[in-house]
Structure 1
């Protein structure tokens, strides 16, 4: 570990915007300060992020350092400690998902908002076109597509000849096609 006088000199030079001094200060103090951060945060990625913030704070506040009040390493350790406390207090919105289990559990095949809007608009157009059909054509098409009934089943339910049901369905579909075009 570097001597206190060396660290004091480096802090004075940092206060004068000497980037080389910050580089040397980092090289001399980062192992010990990183250890402080790691002990407090218990996650290497968080400690690395906090350390980056801390050296920016040290650089920006070097002019406020007073050798009469504390040793350089004590002053820098206090900055690290306070930054770690701030980090632990802020809400952690990040949820680690290294193996994508969260994404896979929440993923579904449902269409997204734009696809749903397009479906809604298509459905609205189809509904408008269905309203323009004769009631019997609308009923036959609804039974065929929504109830999944065959022409024979529709004919039996409506007590209508099979050929008539097929004609209603065909004419209705032609009118729908023309309306939607």
Structure 2
């Protein structure tokens, strides 16, 4: 079975749809099973499974049989995606709890908040326009697109350290722009 799965992954790397369908048919029950065991939620496990096979389609040309078996590779991808989802969900819950504790029972001026939000968004957009095109694109992919450094690097065809530098320099320029020349 490992030999057949290896052949399929290699074919998927060449964007063979029939091979992808067969790979999915032969392995999806295990990928979904691992995701479900880790996440404990059927719909979230289905989403993670879908993400794993999308990632498989994109990364299959980089699969190295000398490092792991095809099933081991798929399980590694599944484990990483599930851990990312757990961390993301935990982080969201923690942010909501902190926000709730900070704002519990406080009166709010909704109109003022909306005006301030609109003003802040406009200021950020104006400062984004002041960045270099590469900084703007890199920051947009990372912060507005929700991509990791690695995903941004892959999308731009640039090394991860270059992406990190662009983001760091761009954020510094954004901060300088937003805080003004007198802030230090």
TM-score by length of 1: 0.49
